[in-house]
Amino acid sequence: MPDTLLSRFLRYVRIDTTSAADMPTSPSTPGQWVLLRMLESEARALGAAEVVLDEHGYVLATIPATTSKPDVPMVAFLAHVDTTPEFCGQNVMPIVHRKWNGRPIVLPDDHSQVLDPARFPELARAKGQDVITASGRTLLGGDDKAGVAIIMSLAAHLLAHPEIKHGPIRVCFTPDEEVASGVDLLDLDLLGANVAYTLDGDNPGEVVWETFSADQAIVTIEGVSTHPGDAKKSGMVNALHLAARLLVALPRENLAPESTDGREGFIHPWRMDGSVERAVIKFLLRDHDLASLQDKGQRLQRLCQALQAVEPRARIHCEIARQYRNMGYWLKKDMTPVNLACEAVRAVGLEPASPPTRGGTDGSRLTEMGLPTPNLFAGYHNPHGPLEWAVLQEMQRSLQMCIELVQLWEQKGVGYKGRPRKKRRRTAA
């Protein structure tokens, strides 16, 4: 039986590719190599050119141009192979609910896990379609193996249909997106694309070109540790009390993730470790607008200064580090990649939507690094937990959209600059 979008997806989700934070290797976990090697050999078997799996765990492959037009931009499609460490991704048992009848889906391995369409309107819309879930103990891994399966199916389709006119296409599978290091080691000259898309969005029709801008703040509070029996005389300064005061002083209304939405940013303390002598609090600072992001950093610094003023014996330090930036800053300068994607969405009968993402994507980093990379829908929903699902027909729509998109680039994209291409070193096919 020939390989299909569904058979690819079911094969990929069964492989445990859970990533791990703070690991010195890329990929962070050995399971990712298993899938990456599988993708490498599948790309070769399809007849893709220049197939490589590099030392950091990036699979790259080329679908040669079928157009005779010169200067059609090289378009890359990217998806990440890892799944989040936040939930079990081992022994995933995907279940296909063919022509789903619309009734709540009780997952067989844990009956307390119920996918109820009353709770998830996007699920309710999938009635009559083929819904894919996990079995209750694991996530599904549609994030982002839906994207991986769509891109591999795109490669298969284009290689089997040379009559479809398109420019050069690059395919790229990446590790470790979920632990934020996703594209750090990707060689953009080797990728060689002028423009790229990640297939890592959920709702059908989504063309995301705005993400958060993100910084991290680390507040370190050095107290004075003494014997508690003697603390009054010896001048104990308890860093834990100061850490608690800092958190209490932080306004939560309209400034915490729990109380913000849409385009509102936030200050989010997400980790605290400490003792009398020393406490460390880590914060995420997020905003779509760069000035408002900087404002949030200054606000936190002022709170630290105020705390320092009431307790001069402590040493309080607030360090802010840049994480990623809203891709909209760069994409706004030339909206061609977004406009063509929206046109491709319409061509498959959907209405394009571009909600600003309350997070970042690999595309945020890539765009900042000079490769414009909006994010497109891949047909998975509610990721990072047992109640994740994917809809086969939405994944098929996404595949159709990609087929339209490469043709639109051939018809309308000539002359688009994007990231300039350097001469790539040739790699063995």
Q: Report, as residue numbers or ranges, the catalytic residues.
A: 82, 177
- Closer to Zn ion at the Cβ: 146 or 156? 146
Residue 379 beta carbon to Zn ion: minimum distance, rounded to whole angstroms: 12
Rounded distance, CA 202 to CA 204, Å?
7
**Binds Zn ion by CB under 5 A, chosen from 82, 130, 144, 287:** 144
Q: Which stretch binds Zn ion (CB under 5 A): 2-10, 41-49, 137-145, 335-343?
A: 137-145
Rounded distance, CA 196 to CA 336, Å?
12
Counting residues that bind Zn ion (by CB under 5 A) gives 3
CB 57 within 8 A of CB 28: no
Task: Please compute Rg for the chain using Cα positions.
Answer: 24
**Binds Zn ion by CB under 5 A, chosen from 42, 130, 143, 215:** 143
Quick one: tokens of 262?
């849409």
- Closer to Zn ion at the Cβ: 200 or 311? 200
Strand blocks (E) in 3-157? 49-53, 59-63, 75-80, 95-97, 105-106, 114-115, 131-133
- Scan for tokens 């980790």, then name that residue: 271
Concatenated DSSP letters for 151-219? HHHHHHHHHH-TTS----EEEEEES-TTTT-TTTT--HHHH--SEEEEEEE-STTBEE----EEEEEEE
82 near Zn ion (CB under 5 A): no
Q: Show the binding pattern over residues 86-105: x = contacts Zn ion (CB under 5 A), - = does not.
A: --------------------
| Edge-to-edge strands, sheet with 389-391 | 95-97, 131-133, 389-391, 380-381
Residue 201 beta carbon to Zn ion: minimum distance, rounded to whole angstroms: 9
Residue 188 beta carbon to Zn ion: minimum distance, rounded to whole angstroms: 20
Q: Show the binding pattern over residues 228-267: x = contacts Zn ion (CB under 5 A), - = does not.
A: ----------------------------------------
Q: Which stretch binds Zn ion (CB under 5 A): 134-142, 144-152, 235-243, 286-294?
A: 144-152
- Within 185-204, the residues that bind Zn ion by CB under 5 A are 200
- Closer to Zn ion at the Cβ: 194 or 375? 375
CB 285 within 8 A of CB 293: yes
The phi and psi torsions of 370 (rounded to 5 degrees) equal: 110, -5
Q: Which stretch binds Zn ion (CB under 5 A): 81-89, 138-146, 220-228, 349-357?
A: 138-146
- Closer to Zn ion at the Cβ: 171 or 300? 171
Which amino acid appears at position 147 of this protein? G
Quick one: tokens of 227?
């014997």
Sites of contact with Zn ion (CB under 5 A): 143-144, 200
